Structure 1
């Protein structure tokens, strides 16, 4: 009899190490981009729904939407790649929903990877790269301090995304 995976609890899919590494990466990227004020976990209403980006910044001439992927030291599995693609779609929807409010401003959509191996999971011939180019989504690899990288590797090794039962 097939197992009903909808009732299997998620275990360890989030970690303190991941949240801390993402926070550090956002600080580094904000400094590199010269962003003075960055809001984290920014919520946008989209009709009756809502979407949250990891970070948001706005100036008189620019809007920046950022999503961070904290995978390090190994290629991404399909579920993680799909999450990055969902983050892409979410930023595009937020941009479209706010087009009138942001008229005349440059809207930058950034996918931040914490590891070149993770970024390379989307190889040069991947359709995602073509989509990112077509829709103006930038990808950026952010080097985080070694202590955060080591903590992330340990957290990823300990993660068990689905229980056995």
Structure 2
């Protein structure tokens, strides 16, 4: 039996408890005394209590847990070798193609590459800063601009412009 939760109404915290509150408190007390009764708040209280001070396990229960955890796994099915080889071959082919493309398109050694230079963030902000708040949005805007500059510089070094 699960008791539905209702949000408490806090008109006067010093007011005497209502009949509904007294019934709910009695149901919780009974559920806490008898662990076989299902009650959301009692289950939560039990979980908190066990998290704070876990109970001792009986030796036979402990041994059963250990045996189940350390038991050998069942027979393994041998069917994934072909899939692993196929994916390995595909990944190798893609890697070789990417390396070849970079070698062919890379700028010659000693050739100057035009990189984006560090610059002011003034152009990112047209409106004045508010006296409070907005700091995260400003930092996000700066980080996005710097990430774009870094990406442009990496592509320029690779000769991908």
TM bin (shorter chain): under 0.3
Give the TM-score of the pair, scaled to structure 2.
Answer: 0.20
Flag the structure with higher helix content.
2
The normalised TM-score by structure 1 is 0.19
Higher relative contact order (CA closer than 8 Å, sequence separation 6+): 1
The structure where strand makes up a greater share of residues is 1
